[in-house]
Amino acid sequence: MSSQELPTKFEELSEEELSKMTIRRATGEKRLVRCTPGGILLPYAFVKLARGFHDFQFRSGDVVVSTFPKSGTVWMGEILWAMTHFDRLAAMDTSAINGRSYFFDLDFLHPSSSSDYSPLIAAFQEKCPGGQVDEGIMLQLANADEGRRVIKTHLQFSFFNDSLLSKSKVVYVARNPKDACVSLHYFLSQKLDTVVEGGFPATAETFMKNGMTFAPYWGHLQQAWKLKDHPNVHFVFYEDLKADVMAELGKLNGFLGLDLKEDQLEKVAEATSFENMRKRDLEKPLTKMEGSFFRKGVVGDWKNLATPELDAQMDRWIAENSKDMGIQFRYS
């Protein structure tokens, strides 16, 4: 373990601040911290694991999916696993997603006592005998894996050491903030232990006021956008994946230096189509919620929920925050 000082400081939100929030969070996220620099909002449980994440050594061959929540993390995780483990494609039908790729944030988003965790704990105890659950299951499982790892996280790059960008290949997926907000609204509303008071307008307001876990949305986007030409960073839009998945798989193929053939990429596209991922989720659900995690998977669902006033407000918020970035989203 390194003794280097962590680059982040944490301040816990007061009861008063929490009581003003319109989202009563799931058990694992009841206490929150704000991180400096960046003002990033994270569950309190992260603090204990911050050192472990910071010291985690990425290796060459690792592929990391980095996203703001609800931007296509699981989809990209499956695409990258399928591409980097093409000879084992059939295993996607038999094994669970969390057994293939490592979603780091599970370690602090969900209390390890939750029943969602039990199959993972069993795998953890088998693969990491003597390991402590509260030191992060995903972290330790990933550490113990000597193969080619696919890691998913919403944590900004600054929470990791330099090996993230110098050793691994990072794929950043951005989704337009309107649809990410809608997806987040449904996700929060349908998770069994979260209450969203005030319906969709309250979710949208919380989103724009940086009250969502992992917010601020723009800070998240900016750190990756600035590095979009870095040789180990590939920036992709959810909307582009939806519009022409084969074109995007072709770019990923080049970025990862994989040399998969057209018919192999077609098989990856098929195995990771929305319909197929949803179908597999019926048998091995990714998370406990009403309805499927794979909800709609479309671009433009925002227009089904937002009033013209809310839409105009969101447009102003987007224009203000993106004016110096030169980033253009598609909304339909």
Site for ligand A3P, rule CB under 6 A: 67, 69-75, 179, 183, 186, 272-274, 277, 294-297, 301
Q: How far is the CB of 275 from ligand A3P (least distance, A)?
A: 8
Q: How far is the CB of 57 from ligand A3P (least distance, A)?
A: 25
Question: Which burial class, exposed, middle or buried, applies to 308 when counting CB atoms under 10 A from its CB (0-12, 13-18, 19+)?
Answer: exposed
Q: How far is the CB of 179 from ligand A3P (least distance, A)?
A: 6
Q: Please report the sign of the dihedral spanned by the C-alpha atoms of residue 117, residue 119, residue 122, residue 123.
A: negative
Q: How far is the CB of 125 from ligand A3P (least distance, A)?
A: 27
Q: How far is the CB of 274 from ligand A3P (least distance, A)?
A: 4
**Dihedral through CA 143, CA 7, CA 171, CA 279, nearest 10?**
60
Nearer to ligand A3P, 29 or 54 (CB): 29
Best CA proximity match to 188, nearest among 177, 174, 199, 178: 199
**Cα angle for residues 140, 146, 149 (degrees, 5° grid):** 75
Q: Find tokens 């307008």 and name the residue.
A: 201
Nearer to ligand A3P, 8 or 73 (CB): 73
Nearer to ligand A3P, 202 or 269 (CB): 269
Q: How far is the CB of 175 from ligand A3P (least distance, A)?
A: 8
Amino acid at 115: S
Residue nearest to ligand A3P (CB): 297
Residue 237's SS3 state is strand
Nearer to ligand A3P, 54 or 104 (CB): 104
Nearer to ligand A3P, 127 or 295 (CB): 295
Q: How far is the CB of 68 from ligand A3P (least distance, A)?
A: 8
What is the side-by-side order of every strand in the sheet holding 40-43? Answer: 9-12, 32-36, 40-43
**Dihedral through CA 186, CA 190, CA 196, CA 197, nearest 10?**
110
Q: How far is the CB of 109 from ligand A3P (least distance, A)?
A: 11
Question: Which burial class, exposed, middle or buried, applies to 320 when counting CB atoms under 10 A from its CB (0-12, 13-18, 19+)?
Answer: exposed
Give yes or no for a contact between 231 and 47, defined as CB atoms under 8 angstroms apart: no
d(CA 176, CA 188): 18
For 66, phi then psi, to 5°, come to -120, 130
Count of Cβ atoms closer than 10 Å to residue 140 Cβ: 19
Nearer to ligand A3P, 101 or 253 (CB): 101
Residue-level length of the chain: 332
Nearer to ligand A3P, 99 or 297 (CB): 297
Q: Please report the sign of the dihedral spanned by the C-alpha atoms of residue 204, residue 205, residue 207, residue 211.
A: negative
Nearer to ligand A3P, 69 or 211 (CB): 69
